[in-house]
Chain A
Protein backbone atom coordinates (compact mmCIF):
# COMPACT_ATOMS: atom_id res chain seq x y z
CA UNK A 1 0.00 0.00 0.00
CA UNK A 2 1.34 3.41 -1.00
CA UNK A 3 0.17 6.73 0.42
CA UNK A 4 -1.29 8.98 -2.27
CA UNK A 5 0.52 12.20 -1.46
CA UNK A 6 0.17 15.88 -2.33
CA UNK A 7 2.91 18.46 -1.73
CA UNK A 8 1.71 21.98 -0.92
CA UNK A 9 4.50 24.56 -0.80
CA UNK A 10 5.02 27.96 -2.41
CA UNK A 11 8.82 27.65 -2.48
CA UNK A 12 10.39 25.93 -5.48
CA UNK A 13 13.45 24.60 -3.62
CA UNK A 14 11.29 23.09 -0.88
CA UNK A 15 9.00 21.54 -3.52
CA UNK A 16 11.98 20.01 -5.27
CA UNK A 17 13.51 18.68 -2.05
CA UNK A 18 10.18 17.15 -0.95
CA UNK A 19 9.61 15.63 -4.39
CA UNK A 20 13.04 13.99 -4.18
CA UNK A 21 12.30 12.61 -0.70
CA UNK A 22 8.89 11.29 -1.83
CA UNK A 23 10.40 9.60 -4.89
CA UNK A 24 12.90 7.85 -2.65
CA UNK A 25 10.31 6.56 -0.19
CA UNK A 26 8.73 3.21 -1.13
CA UNK A 27 5.63 4.07 0.92
CA UNK A 28 4.73 7.16 -1.11
CA UNK A 29 2.97 7.61 -4.44
CA UNK A 30 3.37 11.31 -5.21
CA UNK A 31 0.24 12.57 -6.98
CA UNK A 32 0.91 16.25 -7.52
CA UNK A 33 2.41 19.49 -6.22
CA UNK A 34 0.49 22.70 -5.52
CA UNK A 35 1.99 26.14 -4.95
CA UNK A 36 -0.90 27.73 -3.07
CA UNK A 37 -3.81 26.99 -0.78
CA UNK A 38 -6.65 27.48 -3.27
CA UNK A 39 -5.10 25.13 -5.80
CA UNK A 40 -4.53 22.53 -3.05
CA UNK A 41 -8.14 22.69 -1.77
CA UNK A 42 -9.46 22.03 -5.27
CA UNK A 43 -7.08 19.13 -5.76
CA UNK A 44 -7.85 17.50 -2.38
CA UNK A 45 -11.61 17.89 -2.82
CA UNK A 46 -11.52 16.38 -6.32
CA UNK A 47 -9.08 13.51 -5.64
CA UNK A 48 -8.60 10.99 -2.90
CA UNK A 49 -5.41 12.01 -1.12
CA UNK A 50 -3.99 10.03 1.82
CA UNK A 51 -1.26 12.44 2.86
CA UNK A 52 -0.64 16.18 2.64
CA UNK A 53 2.90 17.51 2.98
CA UNK A 54 1.82 20.99 3.89
CA UNK A 55 3.83 24.18 4.28
CA UNK A 56 2.49 26.37 7.07
CA UNK A 57 3.46 29.83 5.87
CA UNK A 58 2.22 30.58 2.38
CA UNK A 59 0.95 33.86 0.91
CA UNK A 60 -2.85 34.42 0.68
CA UNK A 61 -3.83 31.27 2.59
CA UNK A 62 -1.65 29.56 5.18
CA UNK A 63 -1.57 25.82 5.90
CA UNK A 64 -3.85 26.06 8.95
CA UNK A 65 -6.54 27.97 6.99
CA UNK A 66 -6.26 25.39 4.22
CA UNK A 67 -7.03 22.56 6.68
CA UNK A 68 -10.20 24.36 7.76
CA UNK A 69 -11.48 24.30 4.18
CA UNK A 70 -11.10 20.62 3.31
CA UNK A 71 -14.12 18.37 2.79
CA UNK A 72 -12.29 15.39 4.38
CA UNK A 73 -9.21 14.88 6.49
CA UNK A 74 -6.13 13.27 4.96
CA UNK A 75 -3.05 12.63 7.12
CA UNK A 76 -1.00 15.80 7.41
CA UNK A 77 2.71 16.38 7.89
CA UNK A 78 3.41 20.06 8.29
CA UNK A 79 6.63 21.56 7.04
CA UNK A 80 7.93 24.95 8.09
CA UNK A 81 10.93 27.11 8.76
CA UNK A 82 9.46 28.30 12.08
CA UNK A 83 8.72 25.95 14.96
CA UNK A 84 6.40 28.52 16.54
CA UNK A 85 3.48 26.99 14.63
CA UNK A 86 3.98 23.52 16.09
CA UNK A 87 1.47 23.96 18.92
CA UNK A 88 -1.28 25.26 16.63
CA UNK A 89 -0.54 22.50 14.15
CA UNK A 90 -1.07 19.78 16.73
CA UNK A 91 -4.47 21.32 17.53
CA UNK A 92 -5.40 20.20 14.00
CA UNK A 93 -4.33 16.66 14.72
CA UNK A 94 -1.44 16.68 12.28
CA UNK A 95 0.71 13.55 12.40
CA UNK A 96 4.08 15.26 12.44
CA UNK A 97 5.83 18.56 12.11
CA UNK A 98 9.09 18.90 10.14
CA UNK A 99 11.47 21.82 10.22
CA UNK A 100 12.89 22.89 6.85
CA UNK A 101 15.31 22.04 5.36
CA UNK A 102 14.15 18.50 6.01
CA UNK A 103 16.68 15.79 6.81
CA UNK A 104 15.87 12.52 4.97
CA UNK A 105 16.03 10.30 8.09
CA UNK A 106 13.62 12.60 9.93
CA UNK A 107 11.29 12.61 6.90
CA UNK A 108 11.22 8.82 6.80
CA UNK A 109 10.43 8.69 10.52
CA UNK A 110 7.41 10.94 9.93
CA UNK A 111 6.26 8.78 7.00
CA UNK A 112 6.54 5.65 9.16
CA UNK A 113 4.27 7.31 11.72
CA UNK A 114 1.68 8.06 9.02
CA UNK A 115 1.87 4.52 7.62
CA UNK A 116 1.28 3.06 11.08
CA UNK A 117 -1.78 5.26 11.71
CA UNK A 118 -3.06 4.74 8.18
CA UNK A 119 -2.87 0.94 8.43
CA UNK A 120 -4.78 1.00 11.72
CA UNK A 121 -7.52 3.18 10.20
CA UNK A 122 -7.69 1.03 7.05
CA UNK A 123 -8.16 -2.09 9.16
CA UNK A 124 -11.01 -0.45 11.03
CA UNK A 125 -12.48 0.90 7.81
CA UNK A 126 -12.50 -2.55 6.19
CA UNK A 127 -14.97 -3.68 8.82
CA UNK A 128 -17.28 -0.67 8.54
CA UNK A 129 -16.77 0.77 5.03
CA UNK A 130 -19.30 -1.46 3.33
CA UNK A 131 -21.96 -0.60 5.89
CA UNK A 132 -21.81 3.09 6.69
CA UNK A 133 -20.52 6.57 5.92
CA UNK A 134 -20.09 9.69 8.01
CA UNK A 135 -21.18 12.96 6.51
CA UNK A 136 -20.06 16.40 7.68
CA UNK A 137 -23.10 18.64 7.99
CA UNK A 138 -23.94 21.63 10.23
CA UNK A 139 -20.63 21.22 12.07
CA UNK A 140 -21.43 17.59 13.01
CA UNK A 141 -20.38 14.23 11.68
CA UNK A 142 -23.56 12.23 11.11
CA UNK A 143 -23.40 8.45 10.70
CA UNK A 144 -25.60 7.00 7.96
CA UNK A 145 -25.91 3.34 7.11
CA UNK A 146 -25.85 2.85 3.33
CA UNK A 147 -29.21 1.15 3.57
CA UNK A 148 -30.80 4.38 4.86
CA UNK A 149 -29.68 6.42 1.83
CA UNK A 150 -32.00 6.72 -1.19
CA UNK A 151 -29.82 8.87 -3.42
CA UNK A 152 -27.26 11.70 -3.65
CA UNK A 153 -28.11 14.80 -5.67
CA UNK A 154 -25.67 17.45 -6.87
CA UNK A 155 -26.82 21.04 -6.19
CA UNK A 156 -24.18 23.58 -7.27
CA UNK A 157 -21.19 23.34 -4.93
CA UNK A 158 -23.15 21.08 -2.58
CA UNK A 159 -24.56 17.58 -2.52
CA UNK A 160 -27.92 16.61 -1.00
CA UNK A 161 -28.00 13.24 0.74
CA UNK A 162 -31.58 11.96 0.77
CA UNK A 163 -32.77 9.30 3.22
CA UNK A 164 -36.32 8.02 3.72
CA UNK A 165 -36.98 10.44 6.57
CA UNK A 166 -34.39 13.20 6.21
CA UNK A 167 -32.13 15.13 3.88
CA UNK A 168 -28.65 16.51 4.54
CA UNK A 169 -26.54 19.03 2.66
CA UNK A 170 -22.80 18.50 2.44
CA UNK A 171 -20.11 20.58 0.76
CA UNK A 172 -18.32 18.85 -2.09
CA UNK A 173 -18.62 17.42 -5.57
CA UNK A 174 -20.64 14.36 -6.57
CA UNK A 175 -17.57 13.08 -8.43
CA UNK A 176 -15.56 12.94 -5.18
CA UNK A 177 -18.42 11.21 -3.35
CA UNK A 178 -18.69 8.64 -6.13
CA UNK A 179 -15.03 7.75 -5.60
CA UNK A 180 -15.43 7.47 -1.83
CA UNK A 181 -18.52 5.27 -1.65
CA UNK A 182 -17.39 1.74 -0.87
CA UNK A 183 -20.67 0.03 -1.61
CA UNK A 184 -21.42 -1.63 -4.93
CA UNK A 185 -25.16 -0.98 -4.65
CA UNK A 186 -24.64 2.72 -5.40
CA UNK A 187 -24.45 3.82 -9.01
CA UNK A 188 -24.07 7.14 -10.78
CA UNK A 189 -26.95 7.38 -13.25
CA UNK A 190 -26.60 11.02 -14.25
CA UNK A 191 -23.99 13.76 -13.73
CA UNK A 192 -26.17 15.02 -10.83
CA UNK A 193 -27.35 11.75 -9.26
CA UNK A 194 -25.98 8.68 -7.53
CA UNK A 195 -28.72 6.24 -6.55
CA UNK A 196 -29.09 3.30 -4.20
CA UNK A 197 -30.05 0.44 -6.55
CA UNK A 198 -31.90 -1.30 -3.71
CA UNK A 199 -34.34 1.64 -3.44
CA UNK A 200 -35.49 1.80 -7.07
CA UNK A 201 -39.25 1.48 -7.46
CA UNK A 202 -39.23 1.37 -11.25
CA UNK A 203 -37.24 2.36 -14.30
CA UNK A 204 -38.68 4.03 -17.35
CA UNK A 205 -36.92 4.90 -20.58
CA UNK A 206 -34.89 7.80 -19.27
CA UNK A 207 -35.74 7.96 -15.61
CA UNK A 208 -35.80 6.09 -12.32
CA UNK A 209 -38.37 6.44 -9.56
CA UNK A 210 -37.16 6.31 -5.99
CA UNK A 211 -39.62 7.17 -3.23
CA UNK A 212 -41.81 9.20 -5.63
CA UNK A 213 -38.80 11.19 -6.88
CA UNK A 214 -38.21 10.95 -10.62
CA UNK A 215 -34.48 10.84 -11.31
CA UNK A 216 -33.10 11.26 -14.85
CA UNK A 217 -30.82 8.65 -16.39
CA UNK A 218 -28.22 9.94 -18.81
CA UNK A 219 -27.55 8.08 -22.04
CA UNK A 220 -23.94 7.47 -21.03
CA UNK A 221 -24.86 5.87 -17.70
CA UNK A 222 -27.80 3.77 -18.89
CA UNK A 223 -25.85 0.68 -20.10
CA UNK A 224 -24.10 0.33 -16.72
CA UNK A 225 -27.43 0.68 -14.92
CA UNK A 226 -29.02 -2.05 -17.03
CA UNK A 227 -26.02 -4.30 -16.36
CA UNK A 228 -26.36 -3.71 -12.63
CA UNK A 229 -29.95 -4.89 -12.27
CA UNK A 230 -31.34 -8.38 -12.44
CA UNK A 231 -33.36 -8.09 -15.63
CA UNK A 232 -35.57 -11.08 -16.55
Chain B
Protein backbone atom coordinates (compact mmCIF):
# COMPACT_ATOMS: atom_id res chain seq x y z
CA UNK B 1 0.00 0.00 0.00
CA UNK B 2 1.29 3.44 -0.93
CA UNK B 3 0.83 6.33 1.41
CA UNK B 4 0.77 9.72 -0.22
CA UNK B 5 2.21 12.45 1.93
CA UNK B 6 -0.06 15.43 2.53
CA UNK B 7 1.49 18.88 2.98
CA UNK B 8 0.98 20.07 6.53
CA UNK B 9 -0.61 23.52 6.58
CA UNK B 10 0.14 25.24 9.81
CA UNK B 11 -2.64 27.33 11.25
CA UNK B 12 -2.05 31.06 11.29
CA UNK B 13 -1.57 32.37 14.82
CA UNK B 14 -2.95 35.87 15.31
CA UNK B 15 -1.35 38.53 17.49
CA UNK B 16 -2.19 37.91 21.14
CA UNK B 17 -4.06 41.22 21.45
CA UNK B 18 -6.54 40.13 18.78
CA UNK B 19 -9.54 37.93 19.55
CA UNK B 20 -8.49 34.99 17.36
CA UNK B 21 -11.59 32.97 18.22
CA UNK B 22 -13.89 35.72 16.92
CA UNK B 23 -11.79 36.27 13.79
CA UNK B 24 -12.02 32.53 13.11
CA UNK B 25 -15.81 32.72 13.58
CA UNK B 26 -16.25 35.66 11.18
CA UNK B 27 -13.98 34.40 8.42
CA UNK B 28 -14.33 30.63 8.91
CA UNK B 29 -10.57 30.14 8.49
CA UNK B 30 -10.60 31.75 5.02
CA UNK B 31 -7.30 33.63 5.32
CA UNK B 32 -7.61 35.19 1.88
CA UNK B 33 -10.89 36.80 2.88
CA UNK B 34 -9.46 37.72 6.29
CA UNK B 35 -6.54 39.43 4.52
CA UNK B 36 -8.84 41.46 2.27
CA UNK B 37 -10.98 42.54 5.25
CA UNK B 38 -7.90 43.64 7.20
CA UNK B 39 -6.86 45.68 4.16
CA UNK B 40 -10.28 47.33 3.90
CA UNK B 41 -9.97 48.17 7.59
CA UNK B 42 -6.65 49.91 7.02
CA UNK B 43 -8.04 51.64 3.98
CA UNK B 44 -11.14 53.09 5.63
CA UNK B 45 -10.80 53.33 9.41
CA UNK B 46 -7.94 55.88 9.72
CA UNK B 47 -9.98 58.36 7.64
CA UNK B 48 -13.01 57.79 9.89
CA UNK B 49 -10.79 58.34 12.95
CA UNK B 50 -9.74 61.70 11.55
CA UNK B 51 -13.42 62.63 11.19
CA UNK B 52 -13.95 61.49 14.79
CA UNK B 53 -11.11 63.72 15.96
CA UNK B 54 -12.65 66.69 14.11
CA UNK B 55 -16.04 65.95 15.71
CA UNK B 56 -14.46 65.74 19.18
CA UNK B 57 -12.63 69.04 18.65
CA UNK B 58 -15.91 70.64 17.55
CA UNK B 59 -17.70 68.99 20.53
CA UNK B 60 -20.30 67.76 18.05
CA UNK B 61 -22.00 64.96 20.02
CA UNK B 62 -24.24 63.92 17.12
CA UNK B 63 -21.30 63.42 14.78
CA UNK B 64 -19.24 61.70 17.50
CA UNK B 65 -22.08 59.22 18.09
CA UNK B 66 -22.59 58.56 14.35
CA UNK B 67 -18.88 58.00 13.58
CA UNK B 68 -18.32 55.86 16.70
CA UNK B 69 -21.33 53.75 15.78
CA UNK B 70 -19.96 53.20 12.30
CA UNK B 71 -16.41 52.23 13.27
CA UNK B 72 -17.03 50.11 16.38
CA UNK B 73 -18.02 47.10 14.25
CA UNK B 74 -14.92 47.47 12.08
CA UNK B 75 -12.69 46.97 15.13
CA UNK B 76 -14.67 43.84 16.06
CA UNK B 77 -14.13 42.44 12.56
CA UNK B 78 -10.36 42.52 13.02
CA UNK B 79 -10.51 41.17 16.56
CA UNK B 80 -9.69 44.44 18.35
CA UNK B 81 -12.47 43.87 20.89
CA UNK B 82 -10.99 46.03 23.66
CA UNK B 83 -10.80 49.06 21.33
CA UNK B 84 -14.31 48.36 20.06
CA UNK B 85 -15.60 48.29 23.65
CA UNK B 86 -13.93 51.64 24.28
CA UNK B 87 -15.58 53.09 21.16
CA UNK B 88 -18.95 51.82 22.44
CA UNK B 89 -18.30 53.87 25.60
CA UNK B 90 -17.55 56.96 23.47
CA UNK B 91 -20.73 56.37 21.45
CA UNK B 92 -22.91 55.85 24.47
CA UNK B 93 -21.50 58.91 26.33
CA UNK B 94 -21.96 61.04 23.19
CA UNK B 95 -25.54 59.83 22.88
CA UNK B 96 -26.18 61.19 26.39
CA UNK B 97 -24.20 64.34 25.55
CA UNK B 98 -22.01 63.53 28.55
CA UNK B 99 -18.62 65.12 29.21
CA UNK B 100 -17.33 61.54 29.76
CA UNK B 101 -17.21 61.39 25.96
CA UNK B 102 -13.95 63.33 25.97
CA UNK B 103 -12.36 61.23 28.73
CA UNK B 104 -13.13 58.01 26.87
CA UNK B 105 -11.91 59.56 23.61
CA UNK B 106 -8.61 60.54 25.26
CA UNK B 107 -8.14 56.93 26.38
CA UNK B 108 -9.01 55.73 22.87
CA UNK B 109 -6.52 58.12 21.32
CA UNK B 110 -3.73 56.75 23.52
CA UNK B 111 -4.37 53.17 22.39
CA UNK B 112 -5.44 53.57 18.78
CA UNK B 113 -2.03 54.03 17.14
CA UNK B 114 -0.71 50.80 18.66
CA UNK B 115 -3.87 48.92 17.65
CA UNK B 116 -3.63 50.04 14.03
CA UNK B 117 0.06 49.18 13.97
CA UNK B 118 -0.88 45.61 15.01
CA UNK B 119 -3.29 45.33 12.06
CA UNK B 120 -0.68 46.73 9.67
CA UNK B 121 1.84 44.13 10.88
CA UNK B 122 -0.78 41.35 10.70
CA UNK B 123 -1.43 42.15 7.03
CA UNK B 124 2.28 41.65 6.30
CA UNK B 125 2.32 38.35 8.26
CA UNK B 126 -0.89 37.07 6.59
CA UNK B 127 0.50 37.97 3.13
CA UNK B 128 3.65 35.98 3.94
CA UNK B 129 1.53 33.09 5.25
CA UNK B 130 -0.59 33.04 2.08
CA UNK B 131 2.48 33.16 -0.16
CA UNK B 132 3.96 30.17 1.61
Contacts and interface: CB of A to CB of B under 8 A. Distances in A.
Contacts of A17: 26, 37, 77
Judged by DSSP, the binding face of B is helix
Contacts of A101: 22, 26, 73, 76-77
B89 interface: no
Nearest to B68: A81
A103 B25 contact: yes
Interface in B21-46: 22, 25-26, 28, 33, 36-37, 40-41, 43-44
Interface residues of B, number: 19
Contacts, number: 43
B73 A12 contact: no
Contacts of A12: 40, 43-44
A100 B26 CA distance: 10
A63 to B, nearest CB: 13
Contacts of B37: 13, 16-17
A13 B25 contact: no
A102 to B, nearest CB: 8
A16 B77 CA distance: 11
A191 interface: no
Contacts of B69: 57, 81-82
Contacts of B66: 57, 59
A10 interface: yes
A74 interface: no
A11 B74 contact: yes
A57 B69 CA distance: 8
Contact of B70 (A10, A20, A103): A10
